[in-house]
Structure 1
Amino acid sequence: MKVYGVTGWKNAGKTGLMERLVTEITARGLTVSTVKHAHHNFDVDQPGRDSYRHRAAGACEVLLASGTRIAIMQELRGAPEPELDDLLARLNPVDLVLIEGYKRGSHPKVEAHRKDAGNPLIAPGDSTIRAIAADCALEVDRPVLDLDDTAAIADFILREVGL
């Protein structure tokens, strides 16, 4: 599987770019999975649901399955957060895995940047960032792509990974 990241500070447009890239790349006939890192506590389940009740009772892992999807919820219960490589090993094979977040990961990335967010660029100190998708002109030592030109960003990523 090929792996490529989208990184950037909060409100930089990462999630919107991820969504557009998945749509664009799957429309080209490639299979895509995603990994999203969250810096906060989150829950994909709802109190009162059977699966939530299983976890609340102490289950380490709950697998929820239907005719349309499967969800596996794992409780770390004090164990350390798994490394990105360990998480990637759990995925079924696809052409491309797009990773949102994981700024410190060693995989290649595009940095999303919005001028109005007021954050500094990550790229100058990070050689894993191969290009910047921005809504403004930038003077940097790597390609700057238009944040709204999803096809051009997809072309760049697919060339980078050889797809």
Structure 2
Amino acid sequence: MNNVFSFVGASGSGKTTFIEKLIRFLTEKGYKVGAIKHDAHKFEIDKPGKDSFRFKAAGAIVSLISSHEKLALVKSNIDNEPDLQEIILKYMNGVEIVITEGYKKSDIPKFEVFRKGNGNSPVSFDSRYLMGVITDYEPSEVIDLMKHYPRETSREIKIFNLEDVEKVAEYIIDMSVITPPIIEIESDNEAISKYLSSNLDALKFFPDIKNVKIKIG
């Protein structure tokens, strides 16, 4: 996938803080950013006692709350957890860059946040998809450490300081290429055409898709 970047690291490494700064910088530069957080454990995003929580607790598969400013949706995974591609196709329409936290086993470009004093080992130094390390170690220390983690590629790994938000953002921008597929929709119903067009926007993250033709009727 194009324009999708994952940030990984051990718990307490500072991933979320760095991602927050990165999203703010990219947004200020005019980019539309989508963010996805992967949680390996069960989570509860709603608050007990709230109407939407009560709907969900009562058995609703989908619970949605909407206002003029925003929309929030909580949906039970009835069968299996959706993979990252499915999530992007369903929910990342209208954005230009997707930043994820987690998905360390995925095949998308990733940056590891690796901090001194954390007491944990690197989680992706052996990944062929590792693009950069964000750290407070000296570059020479990171290079020496990476010798203990054989990788299947000779790709150069960029090393950034924990404060190098702008440099990481510029690196991501340089790697970002969007070539939207040509989408042709034949339908007598204008509302359906607009719906399909807007909901096919996320196909731009999949470079192998060049042309899409849909005929309704």
State if a TM-score over 0.5 links the two structures: yes
Q: Deviations over 1:80-132 (max 9, x none)?
A: 11111111111222110101101011110111110111222234310111010
Could you tell me which residue of structure 1 aligns to residue 28 of structure 2? 27
Matched ranges for 1:118-157 at <5 A: 118-137=119-138, 138-139=142-143, 140=146, 142-157=157-172
Q: 1:108 & 1:85 partners in 2: Cα distance?
A: 14
1:43 aligns with 2:44: yes
Q: Deviations over 1:14-71 (max 9, x none)?
A: 1001100000001101100100011222111111111111111111001110111101
Could you tell me which residue of structure 2 aligns to residue 115 of structure 1? 116
Q: Please state how far the C-alpha of 1:161 moved relative to its aligned partner.
A: 2.0
Deviant stretches of 4+, over 3 Å = none
Which one is further off, 90-99 or 116-125? 116-125
Q: 1:124 & 1:48 partners in 2: Cα distance?
A: 43
Q: 2:128 & 2:173 partners in 1: Cα distance?
A: 19
Q: Alignment partner of 2:77: what SS?
A: coil
Q: 2:132 & 2:63 partners in 1: Cα distance?
A: 39
Is 2:3–2:175's contact at 8 Å kept on the other side of the alignment?
Answer: no
How many residues were matched structurally? 162
Q: 1:131 & 1:21 partners in 2: Cα distance?
A: 14
- Give the root-mean-square deviation of aligned CA atoms: 1.5
Structure 1's unaligned 5+ residue stretches are none
Q: 1:123 & 1:74 partners in 2: Cα distance?
A: 30
Matched ranges for 1:57-136 at <5 A: 57-77=58-78, 79-91=79-91, 92-136=93-137
1:70–1:135 CA distance, 2 compared to 1 (3 A):
same
Structure 2's unaligned 5+ residue stretches are 147-155, 179-217
Q: 1:27 & 1:18 partners in 2: Cα distance?
A: 14
Bigger relative contact order (CA 8 A; separation at least 6): 1
1:15–1:73 CA distance, 2 compared to 1 (3 A):
same
Q: 2:67 & 2:111 partners in 1: Cα distance?
A: 35
1:158 aligns with 2:173: yes
Calculate percent identity across the aligned residue pairs: 30
Q: 1:64 & 1:49 partners in 2: Cα distance?
A: 11
Q: 2:39 & 2:30 partners in 1: Cα distance?
A: 29
Q: 1:155 & 1:5 partners in 2: Cα distance?
A: 15
Letter in 1 for 2:169: A
Q: 1:122 & 1:45 partners in 2: Cα distance?
A: 30
